[in-house]
Amino acid sequence: MGNPLRNNNPVVTTSVYTGNKQQVALDMLIEKYQTTRKLSEQIASLMTAEDMQLQSMPDASPVKWHLAHTTWFFETFILMKVKGYQVFHEHFNVLFNSYYNSVGEQFRRPSRGVLSRPTVDEILAYRHYVDDAMCKYLEEDISGDAASIITLGINHEQQHQELILTDIKHAYSLNPMFPALIQRQYTDGPAQPLKYISFDGGLCECGADAEGEFCFDNETPRHSVYVAPFKLASRPVTNHEYAEFISTGGYEDPLLWLSDGWAWMKEKGNTGPAYWKQQDGKWFEFTLAGLQSLQPNAPVCHVNYFEACAYASWAGKRLSTEYEWELVARDQLPEGNLLDLKVLHPQAAKHTGITQLFGDVWEWTSSAYGAYPGYQPARGALGEYNSKFMVGQYVLRGGSCVTPPGHIRSTYRNFFYPHSDWQFSGIRLASD
């Protein structure tokens, strides 16, 4: 998610979970914990044990590793501090630690796929063991600090739910049988006109309020930013529009590409987005429902930053900054085509005006991923989550068709390296 959609320290406004209001908050936390854990196993239930063993590239991880790692988080940061708790297995602390150097050693990430043991059944037993212990722990009064870490763990697992789906899609795409995770025939929607809507800009407040609802530390602090007047596209770029870019020689014109992007494209030999395949002059797209005809009016996805920039140059436009995107999105409800186990693919826009800001595809911005003015990383091991990755990556906004509902918001900052394309990443254009 190479970037696991990394996150960090949430903000919980109550300091101790006691009293009626706090009990309501605790009940909601318990419910959220249970529903999130259940959804991970529902996603995994669509796969075979053989599927869950696959690791198709170093940036991806086996599904069973995701199931274990998200469990390791609760065991390591909550349960191991509980008096009398016995760890499930002495070796799991190394096998399922992702990159927390301050916690201990980790098994090499590119080699996770060689771990045939523990088995899927053993990992599910691990999950249930930890869940039982967590439910007992949550029956007691817990501190605000503990609630904060549990909230973080829930959101961390939601990120890995998205990773499970993007990682298994990449693995399936390498199989010439083009296996399907779900049974669905995608149908296209009507074409919506592409319009550019003007915004005044000005001095704006961006970022999350640290005293408000849950957020990751890289969304803070809230700060003032001057945004010049700009125009933003009403919807993301569609497959039809991107296919025109290809047919007019977009992948053959070095003047459209960043230098690193041109070198990447020539090295990889790419002639279109990841998962696009041409047969008898027609475009098809590999999806989580198998290989299907390309839907012209659906948002193009699985393009990387280099491709997004090249397309924007070809169109005579640019990518938005993350501040422009947030200024528009903050007045929109964070709703859309988000994770639905019956869909799992971008869909054509249904409305005119500014649409699809949330869901369908993550939208590349021109903003480098870095710290906001006044940013302070969390202390301790959880502080390893964000600040040490603030180099060489770009910000994406808005979530995708595999982002869990309730997980996304206008201040959410996803980030990836410019060559990454296995996420559901797309393009929304902007202009001055």
Nearest alpha carbon to residue 397 among 413, 409, 386: 413
* CA of residue 404 relative to chain centroid, distance: 9
- For 380, half-sphere exposure in the C-beta direction (CA atoms, 13 angstrom radius) is 6
pLDDT at 162 over 60: yes
Please state, in angstroms and rounded to a whole number, the distance separating the CA atoms of residues 344 and 376. Answer: 36
In terms of domains, do 260 and 370 share one? yes
110 band by pLDDT with thresholds 50, 70 and 90: very high
Residues 304 and 395 in one domain: yes
Residue 20: band (very low, low, confident or very high) from pLDDT cuts 50, 70, 90: low
Q: Across the chain, what does the average pLDDT equal?
A: 93
User: Is 163 inside a domain boundary?
Assistant: yes
Phi-psi map region of 392: left, alpha, beta (phi>0 left; psi -120 to 50 alpha): left
8 A C-beta contact, residue 418 and residue 369: no
Tell which residue, 321, 282, 313, 302, has the closest CA to residue 400: 302
5, pLDDT greater than 60? no
Q: Are 86 and 235 found together in one domain? A: no
Q: How many CA atoms lie within 13 A of 401 on its CB side?
A: 22
Within-domain flag for 404: yes
Asked whether residue 184 is domain-assigned, the answer is: no
CATH of residue 125: 1.20.120
> Which residues touch 81 (CB under 8 Å, ≥6 apart)?
none
Give the count of beta carbons closer than 10 Å to the beta carbon of residue 352: 11
Angle (nearest 5°) at CA 418 between 114 and 239: 100
400 and 306, same domain (yes or no): yes
Do 213 and 152 fall within a single domain? no
Residues 362 and 233 both lie in one domain: yes
pLDDT of 70: 98
The answer for residues whose C-beta is within 8 angstroms of residue 254's C-beta and 6 or more apart is 262
**Is residue 301 in some structural domain?**
yes
pLDDT band at 378 (very low <50, low <70, confident <90, very high): confident
**pLDDT digit string (tens) for 205-242?**
999 987 778 999 999 999 999 999 999 999 999 999 99
Q: State yes or no: pLDDT of 7 exceeds 60.
A: no
Residues 314 and 384 in one domain: yes
Question: How many structural domains is the chain composed of?
Answer: 2
* Residue 333 in domain: yes
Can you tell me the mean pLDDT for 410-424? 97
The average pLDDT across 249-269 equals 97
The verdict on residue 185 lying in a domain is no
91 near 104, Cβ under 8 Å? Answer: no
Q: 3-state DSSP call for residue 363?
A: strand
Kindly state whether residue 11 falls inside one of the protein's structural domains: no
Residue ending a domain, among 117, 140, 173, is 173
Tell whether 214 and 341 lie within a shared domain. Answer: yes
Do 135 and 256 belong together in one domain?
no
Look up residue 400 and give its amino acid. Answer: S
Q: What are the backbone dihedrals phi and psi of residue 155, each rounded to the nearest 5 degrees, phi first?
A: -65, -35
Residue 320 is part of a domain; what is its CATH number? 3.90.1580.10
Do 135 and 215 belong to one domain?
no
**pLDDT tens digits, one per residue of 287-332:** 999 999 999 999 999 999 999 999 999 999 999 999 999 999 999 9
418 and 270 fall within a common domain: yes
Residue 309 in domain: yes
DSSP state for residue 207 in the 8-state scheme: S
Q: Domain residues for 58?
A: 19-173
Q: Is the pLDDT of residue 3 over 90?
A: no
Residue 227 sits in the same domain as residue 147 = no
What is the model's pLDDT at position 211? 77
pLDDT band (50, 70, 90) for residue 172: very high
The pLDDT of residue 397 is above 70: yes
Residue 92 has pLDDT above 50, yes or no: yes
